[in-house]
Structure 1
Amino acid sequence: MDKFLNNCKEFMKDEEGLTVIEYVIGAALLVLGMTTVFSGLGNTLAAKLNTIVGGL
């Protein structure tokens, strides 16, 4: 158990590990945001194209 606690303490002190976690969280938020934006944009574009094609 002491070895596990020591490893946890070392991980918390290691700033490289923290930096990696920050980048992973940032990348996940970026992907989530882009998915939301492009999903809404795709639906809007599809609706406009359907309107144009329906008018032909």
Structure 2
Amino acid sequence: MDKFLNNCKEFMKDEEGLTVIEYVIGAALLVLGLTTIFTGFGAALSAKLNNIINSI
């Protein structure tokens, strides 16, 4: 158990570990933002296409 705790402490001190976590958080925020944008865009595009199809 002590070895596990020591490994956890060393991981928290490691600067590269923090960099990886920052990239993961940044990527997650990017995916969330793009999903939000394209979901709204998809609904608007669908409505416009339905209007075009109904007018034909």
Q: TM-score range by the shorter chain?
A: over 0.9
1:55 aligns with 2:39: no
Shift of residue 41 of structure 1?
A: 0.1
Shift of residue 53 of structure 1?
A: 1.3
Number of the residue aligned with 1:11: 11
Q: Give the paired residue count.
A: 56
Which runs of no fewer than 5 residues in structure 2 stay unpaired?
A: none
Which runs of no fewer than 5 residues in structure 1 stay unpaired?
A: none
TM-score by length of 1: 0.92
* Aligned Cα root-mean-square deviation (Å): 0.7
Shift of residue 26 of structure 1?
A: 0.7
Q: Percent identity?
A: 79
TM-score by length of 2: 0.92
Please list, as runs of the form range in 1=range in 2, the aligned pairs for 1:1-56 lying within 5 A after superposition.
Answer: 1-56=1-56
